[in-house]
Amino acid sequence: MQIVTCALTSGAVGASAPDLMTSLLQRWREDPGGTYRSWFLWEERVKNFRSIRRGIQQVVADIKAGTFGVAYRGSSLETVVHSVAEQRQIFKGADHAFLWKPKLRIPDIYENPVNQRAFGRLLDTCVCCTMEQQVIAAIREIDARSIKGLGPAVANLLYFLHPTIAPPFNTAIVNGYNALTGARVKLGRWEEYLAMRQGILALNAAHRGLLSNDLGAIGGLLFDIGSGRYPAPPREDDASARAVWKADLARVRENGAKAAKALAAAREEDETHTAVQGWLRDLGLSLGYDVWIAANDRNRLLGDGRLGDGCLAVLPGFATGAGADAVRLIDVLWLDKASNRIVAAYEVEHTTSIYSGIVRMLDLALGPEAHSLEGMFLVAPDGREHEVRDQLARPAFSRVADLKVRYLPYGELKANRETIARFGHGMKPIQAISRLLF
């Protein structure tokens, strides 16, 4: 733990310069282009935890069954890591560490079945455990095996299992931590990750009022520092150094045109997603159904009101539990007014992974409500049908495919929704403009 001691005593960021750290955090939290607003407060972020957890469980199941294979491409690991990599800029490139490097023959979990099973045990333990000590013990166990190429990048998976225990990890985060604390953490070793984690926990505790129990927040701060968006405060007690730093901090907004453009594009994606949910809401209400909007979407602004206006405030018939919570996050549900049964389920996938939407459908498909469903629909841009078909072809999603999930292109919905609302009845018009995938 020498690195941690050095980090916490070498320079004052959390001790001798609390005013600078506070200034940094306040500016960062207000920055529309920083990770706090563009990713940590992103409404879709919460939905991704459930789907990534289920993806990790599938990896474990494949390894246990001996069906994982000997390649990253086409494996269940590729699917879940791809979903992680799509979580906006902080996780961009998360798949690099898992790609097979043939010249180095790393990471050595594809050709070596013993190492593959050890990797599966690490994930299985972290899926099932609830205590910090259990997660750390599992990390130390995999580290003791010295599997070539299997290092702390795995922590990006563990973060989605235990966001209050395992901080995310990449080069920018390490660089940001070193710049902020004066530490010299290196990439590639679990021991250094665990040491950095202790320092991150200490920083997070010292500034919890401006951060979060979810270590994604401080991970985002470190990413923004390490990627050069924010300068780290000076660690020396030097008035001129502080003045220079404050001037650099003030210029962050001035130099944020590129980030602002990226954020604008991300917001446009969210707005399109919300607009399509609104089409489905209005269509369902016009056809005489009760409508449920995903629990974390209902307060999104749409027109002069909110997306959840006129919709159910409570999803009838669902008790608590992980499966029920996942169903509540399905983008749009239509329910029969008399019986409260779910008639149709819609997942809108504008640009994000089709995988996440299918996982939420799977929770519904595995429940007792599946027998009453008249339609399950993946609603996506016209050009994504091939991607939808590829995902549903995976063995893990066979139950969803058995329920005859359909692909509903934006173009068909946009062109026909008003006519269906005026003259349509029941589910037949929606089925007519959608396509059966299997």
Q: Are strands 305-306 and 301-302 parallel, antiparallel or unpaired?
A: antiparallel
**pLDDT tens readout for residues 292-349:** 999 889 998 898 899 999 999 998 876 556 667 778 889 999 999 999 999 999 999 8
- Closest to 176 (Cα-Cα) out of 100, 230, 131, 109: 230
Instruction: Give the 3-state DSSP-derived string for 25-67, with helices as H, strands as E and coil as C.
Output: HHHHHHCCCCHHHHHHCCHHHHHHHHHHHHHHHHHHHHHHHCC
Please say whether the beta carbons of 89 and 38 come within 8 A: yes
Per-residue CA distances from 430 to 217, 254, 257, 327, 406 (Å): 41, 48, 42, 21, 10
Residue 10 confidence class, pLDDT cut points 50, 70, 90: very low
**pLDDT tens readout for residues 366-420:** 777 767 788 889 998 888 888 888 877 777 677 776 777 899 999 999 999 999 9
Residue 265 confidence class, pLDDT cut points 50, 70, 90: low
* pLDDT for 379: 92
DSSP H/E element including 151: none
The encoded tokens of residue 208 equal 């919890």
* pLDDT for 65: 95
Provide the percentage of residues in the chain whose pLDDT is more than 70. 85
- Asked whether the predicted pLDDT for residue 32 surpasses 50, the reply is yes
* pLDDT for 316: 86
Which region among 19-33, 106-120, 124-138 has the lowest average model confidence (pLDDT)?
A: 19-33
* pLDDT for 12: 40
* pLDDT for 419: 95
The encoded tokens of residue 348 equal 């809108």
Which region among 10-14, 126-130, 358-362 has the lowest average model confidence (pLDDT)?
A: 10-14
Rounded Cα distance, 199 and 246, in Å: 24
Phi/psi at 364 (5° precision): -75, -40
Rounded Cα distance, 186 and 385, in Å: 43
Please say whether the beta carbons of 389 and 419 come within 8 A: no
Tell me the one-letter amino acid at 180. L
From the CB of residue 292, how many other CB atoms can be counted at a distance below 10 Å?
Answer: 27
- Asked whether the predicted pLDDT for residue 13 surpasses 60, the reply is no
Three-state DSSP class for residue 12: coil
Which region among 262-271, 277-286, 357-366 has the lowest average model confidence (pLDDT)?
A: 262-271
151-183: string of b/e by CB count within 10 Å (b at 16+)?
bbbbbbbbbbbbbebbbbbbebbbbbbbbbbbb
Across residues 51-73, what is the average pLDDT?
A: 91
Return the half-sphere exposure (C-beta side, CA atoms, 13 A cut-off) of residue 17.
25
* pLDDT for 2: 41
